Amino acid sequence: MTLKLTDLNLNAECSDSYRPADRYVALTFAAEMPADASPEFTSPFRSFPWSGVAGNRAVEVEPSVTCPGSSQLNLMKEFPGLTADGTVVLGVPQGTTEVRFAAHHRPLFRVAVGG
């Protein structure tokens, strides 16, 4: 699967009472999966591979599928030979400056999100 970050909203709207956060960040991705993808392949989005950084410490960031505009479920599927777009809305604690996305313990994206 190849991924491209296509949009970033540093102050996304969300009234998610299940997972309240100091602020929400929305990341939109375009994904493509080759037609000959291995049958054992699973989307890295299934493992909720997000983490955050605030100052010099790691912080927990939570994806929220109930926020308006969240469509990350599109990216959690396998779609050999096709493309998909999806928006991940993350609840981030105060002071978060970076969010990270990793698959199989390999960093794929580091995105600055202010502070």
The residue type of 11 is: N
| pLDDT value at residue 42 | 87
Average pLDDT, rounded, for the chain: 90
More confident residue, 18 or 38: 38
Q: Rounded to an integer, what distance in angstroms lies between the CA atom of residue 55 and that of residue 76? A: 30
Split at pLDDT 50, 70, 90, the class of 17 is low
The residue type of 20 is: P
Mind listing the pLDDT tens digit for each residue in 27-70? 999 999 999 999 888 888 888 789 999 999 999 998 888 888 89
Other beta carbons within 10 angstroms of residue 57's beta carbon come to: 8
Let me know how long the chain is: 115
| pLDDT value at residue 44 | 86
The pTM score is 0.89
Cα 70–chain centre separation? 10
Q: Judging by beta carbons within 10 Å of its beta carbon (0-12, 13-18, 19+), is residue 94 exposed, middle or buried?
A: exposed
Split at pLDDT 50, 70, 90, the class of 106 is confident
